């Protein structure tokens, strides 16, 4: 969440998926997952799986960063669960740019698994995650238990099982992405939730628009959840961009992160019928007050303004298409 963190970064003008700029983008996976692991380790939320995927940072993270991640994880989780309940789990989830995300394992524990859960990230990230899945029983067991056949389809960049698939692909290469998803039995007839949590900003506006359009056109009934930067036109946004530049990270998609309206407009002009966008301060204020009081007692936060400034520069967006009968339009966080 912070202005000087790489996650708020990346870049890449090429779509080859293997250039030097992409290395910076892949590095953001580490940034996000290490921050999540740290927040979990001091009690912000419960996630018994993240320790099997991410090392624990020795470096203390600032309270405003931890609260930011708390709001982000709660916000995405609330919208995801609302979709699962509306569809009674007869649906699929595509988590694009999933990094070391653990949503699949946590949903299984809550008996809220969709018919199938797909994760996509660069092949190098997928290889790393697969290594952990194969070697950590806590991660492997749920996948194997849910899989009725003897053997799982797996290579270095892909695993396909009955309820979970992880695929190495470049989100800017849509024909290959679609082909790989279809090989893993993505079902375009099922209500589908597409999640991009801090991912689109690493693509050019044209590339992210194409991905959003592809998602809208691929499924009759769908919902899109996007979390990323917003209000990047001010001094704070400028500092964030400059810090990232110094670390060879370019926010290729920052133009779309100008305002809540530019975020909403991108969804509406690329095939989505309804779109809502709120900044993370608003998300934070809508979270259950008992939970907020609990996490606020974990660490003392000296300067509230710092938290507000940070939260004002990130947003949660959700959009729907079809699904009138399911009541998808009524979903809100």
Q: List, as residue ranges, the binding site.
A: 72, 97, 170-171, 197
**C-beta closer to ligand SAM: residue 199 or 307:** 199
66 binds ligand SAM (CB under 6 A): no
Looking at 39, 98, 181, 317, which residue binds ligand SAM (CB under 6 A)?
98
For the range 296-301, what are the long-range contacts, defined as Cβ-Cβ under 8 Å and sequence gap of 24 or more?
296/67, 298/42, 298/43, 298/44, 298/66, 299/42, 299/63, 299/66, 300/63, 301/63, 301/64, 301/67
Q: Of residues 119, 160, 170, 279, which one binds ligand SAM by CB under 6 A?
A: 170
Among the candidate windows 152-160, 179-187, 191-199, 320-328, which touches ligand SAM by CB under 6 A? 191-199
Interface with ligand SAM includes 99 (CB under 6 A)?
Answer: yes
The count of C-alpha atoms lying within 13 angstroms of the C-alpha of 282, restricted to the half-sphere facing its C-beta, is 14
Instruction: Check residue 190 and report its DSSP letter.
Output: S
Q: Does 172 bind ligand SAM (CB under 6 A)?
A: yes
Both tokens of residue 222?
Answer: 């769908």
- Among residues 199, 278, 283, 331, which is the contact residue for ligand SAM, using CB under 6 A? 199
Q: Is 88 helix (H, G, I), strand (E, B) or coil?
A: coil
- By CB under 6 A, residue 197 contacts ligand SAM: yes
Q: Does 228 bind ligand SAM (CB under 6 A)?
A: no
# chain residues binding ligand SAM, by CB under 6 A: 22
* 122 scored as a contact of ligand SAM (CB under 6 A): yes
Q: Side-chain half-sphere of 35: how many Cα atoms within 13 Å?
A: 25
Number of Cβ within 10 Å of residue 285's Cβ equals: 12
Burial class (CB within 10 angstroms; exposed 0-12, middle 13-18, buried 19+) of 111: exposed
Q: Does 35 bind ligand SAM (CB under 6 A)?
A: no
> Which residues here bind ligand SAM, judged by CB under 6 A?
7, 25-26, 28-29, 32-33, 97-99, 101, 121-122, 125, 170-172, 197-199, 202-203
């Amino acid at each position: 969440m912070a202005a000087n963190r790489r996650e708020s970064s990346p870049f890449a003008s090429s779509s080859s998926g293997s250039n030097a700029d992409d290395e910076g983008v892949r590095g953001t996976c580490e940034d996000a997952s290490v921050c999540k692991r740290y927040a979990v380790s001091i009690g912000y939320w419960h996630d018994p799986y993240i320790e099997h995927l991410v090392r624990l940072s020795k470096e203390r993270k600032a309270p405003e960063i931890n609260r930011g991640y708390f709001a982000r994880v709660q916000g995405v989780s609330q919208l995801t669960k609302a979709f699962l309940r509306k569809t009674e789990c007869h649906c699929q989830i595509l988590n694009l740019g999933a990094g070391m995300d653990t949503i699949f394992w946590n949903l299984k524990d809550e008996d809220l698994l969709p018919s199938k859960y797909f994760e996509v990230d660069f092949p190098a990230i997928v290889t790393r995650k697969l290594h952990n899945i194969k070697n950590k029983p806590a991660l492997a067991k749920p996948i194997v238990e849910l899989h009725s056949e003897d053997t799982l389809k797996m290579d270095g960049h892909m695993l396909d099982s009955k309820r979970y698939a992880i695929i190495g692909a470049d989100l800017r290469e849509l024909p290959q992405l679609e082909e790989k998803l279809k090989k893993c039995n993505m079902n375009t007839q099922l209500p589908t939730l597409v999640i991009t949590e801090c991912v689109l900003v690493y693509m050019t506006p044209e590339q992210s628009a194409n991905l959003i359009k592809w998602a809208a056109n691929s499924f009759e009934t769908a919902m899109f959840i996007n979390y990323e930067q917003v209000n990047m036109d001010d001094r704070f946004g400028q500092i964030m961009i400059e810090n990232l530049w110094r670390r060879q990270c370019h926010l290729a998609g920052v133009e779309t992160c100008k305002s809540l309206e530019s975020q909403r407009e991108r969804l509406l002009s690329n095939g989505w019928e309804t779109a809502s966008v709120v900044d993370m301060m608003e998300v934070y204020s809508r979270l259950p007050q008992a939970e907020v009081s609990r996490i606020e007692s974990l660490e003392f936060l000296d300067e509230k303004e710092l938290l507000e400034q940070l939260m004002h520069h990130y947003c949660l967006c959700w959009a729907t298409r079809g699904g009138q009968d399911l009541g998808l339009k009524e979903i809100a966080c």
